[in-house]
């Protein structure tokens, strides 16, 4: 009887868990549609901004500007985008694994590593890293971020690079390819570099009123577009991976409920059979 009670309680507990995972799956699937639309709609703008940055980087007058000046890399800054909550499959683990690989590469090259994180999961991980400076930690930007939300981060990154406290800046985020495929990606941010295929375009430009004014007004916006797109891609990836993880958890709960139900029915049948045998045995003893 004790075994029957235990099995019944376990089945009830798993059913309660299944309700939670099913609800989280539906919520994440709903949020994914909006996040996916945002990420896909802004890709063209990000690509245009990236192409313009690459084109500017090839102009001789721009090469000596603080945001485009290349120098030997002694300190590399990583902006790692994670979430503040779990239950999203390998979403956080993939980005943090990529961060770990890059830091190991820096150590082998005698390059110092600094980290700025978005999301509590990244901050918790970075604090435990040896000889890695956590410059700042920002909370996750929520399900409906705005471009204003990344302005403090953008200001910090630009200031660190202008003051030559870091020599390179990379964004580590999850690229949303489909609801099934999401890939942890390393995107160089600063200094801006021309594409590997050399198709940045004609480098002859005229600047009015002067180079510094044009670059100061436009470069920050162009770099903001890179960070903003990374945030949108990460958000869509998080919802997609959480929806898949919760679907898998719901399916596993269904399997467990089926297995425990069979075990419960088997134990219940055995108990009934035993009781019938005891009743029959008792009756025969009285008749005898």
Could you tell me the CATH number of the domain that includes residue 264?
1.10.287.80
Residue 200 lies in a domain: yes
Question: Could you give the number of structural domains in the chain?
Answer: 2
Q: Specify the pLDDT at position 200.
A: 47
Residue 196 maps to a domain = yes
Average pLDDT for the chain: 85
Q: Percentage of the chain with pLDDT > 90? A: 45
Q: Output the pTM of the full model.
A: 0.82
The parent domain of residue 258 ranges over 2-24+248-287
Q: Are residues 94 and 67 in the same domain?
A: yes
- For 187, the token pair is 């995107």
Does 260 reside within a domain?
Answer: yes
On whether residue 33 sits in a domain, the answer given is: no
Judge whether 238 lies within some domain: yes
Residue 200 sits in the same domain as residue 71: yes
Count of CB atoms within 10 A of residue 178's CB? 9
What pLDDT is recorded for position 64? 72
Token pair belonging to 167: 């020599």
- What is the pLDDT confidence band of residue 211, given thresholds at 50, 70 and 90? low
The enclosing H or E element of 153 equals: helix 151-162
CA 283 – CA 274 distance, rounded (Å): 14
Sheet holding 132-138, edge to edge: 132-138, 112-118, 75-81, 168-176, 182-190
Q: Are residues 9 and 85 in the same domain?
A: no
Say which CATH number the domain at 113 has: 3.40.1380.10
pLDDT at 198: 47
- Residues 156 and 129 occupy one common structural domain: yes
Bigger pLDDT: 121 vs 44:
121
Q: How many CA atoms lie within 13 A of 48 on its CB side?
A: 7
């Amino acid at each position: 009887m004790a075994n029957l009670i235990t099995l019944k309680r376990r089945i009830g507990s798993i059913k309660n868990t299944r309700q939670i995972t099913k609800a989280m799956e539906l919520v994440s699937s709903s949020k994914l549609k909006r996040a996916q639309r945002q990420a896909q709609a802004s890709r063209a703008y990000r690509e245009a901004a990236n192409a313009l940055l690459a084109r500017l980087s090839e102009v001789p007058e721009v090469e000596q500007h603080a945001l485009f000046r290349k120098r030997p890399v002694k300190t590399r800054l990583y902006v790692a985008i994670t979430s503040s909550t779990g239950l999203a499959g390998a979403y956080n683990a993939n980005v943090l694994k990529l961060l770990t690989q890059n830091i190991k590469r820096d150590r082998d090259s005698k390059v110092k590593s600094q980290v700025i994180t978005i999301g509590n999961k990244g901050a918790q991980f970075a604090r435990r890293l040896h000889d890695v400076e956590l410059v700042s930690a920002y909370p996750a930007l929520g399900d409906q971020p705005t471009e204003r939300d990344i302005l403090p981060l953008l200001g910090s990154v630009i200031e660190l690079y202008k003051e030559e406290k870091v020599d390179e800046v990379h964004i580590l985020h999850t690229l949303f390819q489909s609801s099934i495929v999401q890939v942890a990606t390393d995107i160089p941010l600063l200094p801006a570099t021309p594409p590997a295929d050399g198709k940045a375009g004609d480098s002859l430009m005229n600047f009015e009123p002067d180079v510094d004014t044009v670059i100061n007004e436009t470069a920050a916006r162009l770099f903001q577009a890179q960070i903003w797109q990374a945030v949108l891609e990460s958000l869509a990836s998080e919802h997609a991976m959480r929806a898949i993880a919760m679907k898998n958890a719901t399916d596993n709960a269904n399997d467990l409920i089926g297995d425990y139900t069979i075990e419960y029915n088997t134990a219940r049948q055995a108990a009934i059979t035993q009781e019938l045998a005891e009743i029959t045995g008792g009756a025969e003893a009285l008749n005898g």
